[in-house]
Amino acid sequence: MKLGSLIGEGGNEDAVVTGFAIDHRKVAPGTVFGAFRGARVNGEDYIADAVRAGAIAVIARPEAVVEGAVHIADDEPRAAFARAAARFFGPFPSCAVAVTGTNGKTSTVEMTRQLWRMAGHHAASIGTLGVTTADERVTTGLTTPDVVTFLSNVAGLAREGVTHLAFEASSHGLTQYRTEGLSVTAAAFTNLSRDHLDYHGDMAAYLTAKMRLFSEVLAPEGTAVVWADDAEAARVVDLARERGNRLVTVGTRGTTLRLVGRDPTLLGQGLTIEADGSTYQVRLPLIGAYQAANALVAAGLVIATGGDVARTLSDLARLQPVRGRLERAAIAKSGAPIYVDYAHTPDAIEAAIAALKPHAGGRLIVVFGAGGDRDPGKRETMGQVAVQQADRVIVTDDNPRTEDPAAIRREVLAGARGAIEIGDRRAAIAAAIREAGAEDIVLIAGKGHEQGQIVGDLVLPFDDVAVARECAG
């Protein structure tokens, strides 16, 4: 592709573009380099290195110094880079939907993919679990990967015949324009609670970042799908109406899919849903109120993109569990079930406990910690929620990263009065399983699907599910 077809006139229009990069170490002859100012690294410092490596154009702020390559100047270079990269990598799947919110993004995009597949579409999802299709998964390691990885992955899926894509839109990804360039047919909002304030600063900025999915990314003719029971749902609804978007609301306050009844069972729950003047009875094979919420948001996305209401609601009964989301990992020798969940915020821990509590004839034992180099303000609250809602709490290490693990545990324990402390995560899991009786349930929270534990700059092999099975054996 010629540079001129990507950026128009501006010098050297006939130069052939071979790729895009935001890391100067990945620049090859013919690359368009994106030089962005970040929280820790300023990409503008590496412009000269990128040009020496063969960059033919640099997208950067107007005041950046670019010599030896075309300077594509823009006040928001991340957005300009994403638009150009999208023209280079496309075409993409004809139907793309995005999901944002503090909790539930991963489950919702994966459930959406499953429902599309049941309806006969060639579907995929991208998010924390990686790139997931009907027969393949490739881990990316980030909820929202960098824009080059994202767009190249999406284009690759289209070449493989994928027509329907659901992806997670994190607040970081939205702020940093990591998912620009696609035409988003529908966008969903799950909920908002405290998280990532180390990055955004306060809840107002965090919400603003989430709202960008609806104010800028969602196509003007697109549909906003909203979990109506969240306190911030009205903000999304108002924004959608201002822009003239179609609106799909779900939940007990929803008008499109109204949840009028929920009956927990041993291995799932019965849902009573009103839609289009009809009442539907659904046996959802997943436990927990928040799993019902995720499933209904996913159903809303499928309906928003042309899915039949009755068929979609019927297919909810065939949904498969999502890795690391209230996943039953093992049964202890005592008979106690052991669940693993990704819950790593106060609200998510409370929701996971609430999901399991009705199923525990005895105690609910919770093992959890807090991640390092992430919003420290939520740690004490996580501890408070755990001890208030669970019967037994063990505070352990999560991913301490570059922080002192003991210091993190102290901050959690400040709110977790009466909890016990076992720093080693494997030992903590073993202790919980060892003391669990036949009527008890063990919940291991925080890491979910993750395959490693981040200590310092190292990623050490660690899988909560595998460890639970070993300790239960």
Does 130 count as an annotated binding residue? no
Does 396 count as an annotated binding residue? no
Q: Which has the closest alpha carbon to 128: 180, 176, 169?
A: 169
Q: Which has the closest alpha carbon to 104: 443, 445, 347?
A: 347
Does 149 count as an annotated binding residue? no
Does 374 count as an annotated binding residue? yes
Does 106 count as an annotated binding residue? yes
Does 143 count as an annotated binding residue? yes
Does 10 count as an annotated binding residue? no
Tokens of 214: 């609806």
Cα–Cα distance between 278 and 323 in angstroms, integer? 33
Does 328 count as an annotated binding residue? no
Does 191 count as an annotated binding residue? no
Residue recorded with tokens 């924390």 = 128
Cα–Cα distance between 60 and 366 in angstroms, integer? 48
Does 52 count as an annotated binding residue? no
Does 400 count as an annotated binding residue? yes
Does 450 count as an annotated binding residue? yes
The answer to whether 207 and 236 are in contact (CB under 8 A) is: no
Cα–Cα distance between 430 and 374 in angstroms, integer? 26
Does 235 count as an annotated binding residue? no
Does 170 count as an annotated binding residue? yes
Does 389 count as an annotated binding residue? no
Q: Which has the closest alpha carbon to 223: 327, 122, 307, 137?
A: 307
Contacts of 143 by beta carbon, 8 Å cutoff, 6+ apart: 105, 106, 127, 128, 168, 170, 172, 173
Mark residue 373 as left, alpha or beta (left: phi above 0; alpha: psi -120 to 50; beta: remaining): left
CA-based torsion, 405, 373, 189, 135: positive or negative: negative
Does 105 count as an annotated binding residue? yes
Does 457 count as an annotated binding residue? no
Does 153 count as an annotated binding residue? no
Does 144 count as an annotated binding residue? yes
Tokens of 258: 């109204």
The answer to whether 469 and 433 are in contact (CB under 8 A) is: no
Annotated binding residues for meso-2,6-diaminopimelate, written as ranges, equal 374, 398-401, 446, 450
Annotated binding residues, written as ranges, equal 101-107, 143-144, 170, 176, 178, 374, 398-401, 446, 450
Annotated binding residues for ATP, written as ranges, equal 101-107
